[in-house]
Amino acid sequence: MNKKIRVLVVDDEEQFVKNMARILMVRGFDVFTAFSGYDAVHAVKNEDAFDVVVLDVKMPGMDGIETLVEIKRWNPDAAVIMLTGHATLSSGVQAMRKGAYDYLMKPCDIEDLIEKLKEAYEAETIRRHPVLWPRKMVREITLHALKKLLPEDLLVSALEMMGRESGQEAIEEVYVVDSEDCLQGVVTKRDLLHEAQNAHPEVPINWPDLVKNPRLIPQMTLSQIMRPHPITIHPNGHLTDAAQQMIVNKVRCMPVVRAGKTIGIIKMQDVFRYVENEIE
């Protein structure tokens, strides 16, 4: 990163905040911390503008949603990533409507969070685009440019797909399909890191290390490490059902399958933007 991204981390769990701040600073971010909604608003009012705010939803006193509203009032250009261990459809929808960039669930992989911080910083104009019409069905928000691989492809193929260029959205997982586009399994960043670390136990490996040096990846096929295929949904499914499934199963993306064939994916942040009926 040429310019240090200014990040404010807000959570009432002080040790969690301190640990996250230390990791982010090592990775080149300019990090500030707050242990309550009130402290966060005070920081936003009195510090130079923050680029990204990582904000816990459940906090005593001023909760995350109230804090989000105040942060957007004082620093409207800040991209706010909501972080919670108690995800509900209602809180997710409310957060997106109040201007949150995205909504992540604890425990959140640090590499995924770092990628999301960079993505949010680069794409803050996108998050401000208004929703022009309501959407209720999965097919209406399905992304058809699905990143797919075959079981016999090498692990490095998945790494190449997940290696994000500046300005591109982070890809956290790739789906493995057969020659008929039937879903076989899924491979995540964490899976690739795990295999690389097992192959080179003598040195710690993080995601940037892996992207810069693909040779750290062992010569294995995706079929050797892929997990069983994840939950799926039909294109005629309702967005509220999709959101509930994603929350319960703690996933941020879900394949859309019709007649046994994988036709695309939906993302949690898109579902929250379009769901109209808030439920608990």
- At 82, the amino acid letter reads M
Closest C-alpha to 71, from 91, 48, 53, 94 = 53
Burial (Cβ within 10 Å: 0-12, 13-18, ≥19) of residue 27: middle
From the DSSP assignment, how many helices (H) and strands (E) are in the chain? 12, 11
At 1 the pLDDT is 45
Strand order in the sheet with 102-105: 30-34, 6-10, 52-56, 79-84, 102-105
The model's pLDDT over 196-242, given as tens digits with 9 standing for 90+, comes to: 999 999 999 998 899 899 999 999 999 999 998 778 999 989 988 89
162 close to 189: Cβ distance less than 8 angstroms: yes
Residue ranges of domains in the chain: 6-127, 138-274
* Cα–Cα dist 94/277, whole Å: 11
Peptide bond preceding 151 in cis form (omega within 30 of 0)? no
Fold type of domain 138-274:
CBS-domain (3.10.580)
* Cα–Cα dist 83/20, whole Å: 12
Give every residue of the chain whose pLDDT is below 50, as ranges.
1, 125-132, 166-167, 277-280
pTM above 0.85, yes or no: no
At 126 the pLDDT is 47
The dihedrals phi and psi of 239, each to the nearest 5 degrees, come to -65, -35
At 131 the pLDDT is 47
At 277 the pLDDT is 46
* DSSP β-bridge partners for residue 238: 137
Record the tokens describing residue 207, joined without a space.
């995601």
Choices 3.40.640.10, 3.40.50.300, 3.40.50.2300, 3.30.460.20: CATH for 6-127: 3.40.50.2300
Strands 52-56 and 6-10: parallel
Closest C-alpha to 113, from 123, 121, 104 = 104
Give the SS3 label for residue 167: coil
Using left for φ > 0, alpha for ψ between -120 and 50, and beta otherwise, residue 28 falls in left
* Cα–Cα dist 5/24, whole Å: 10
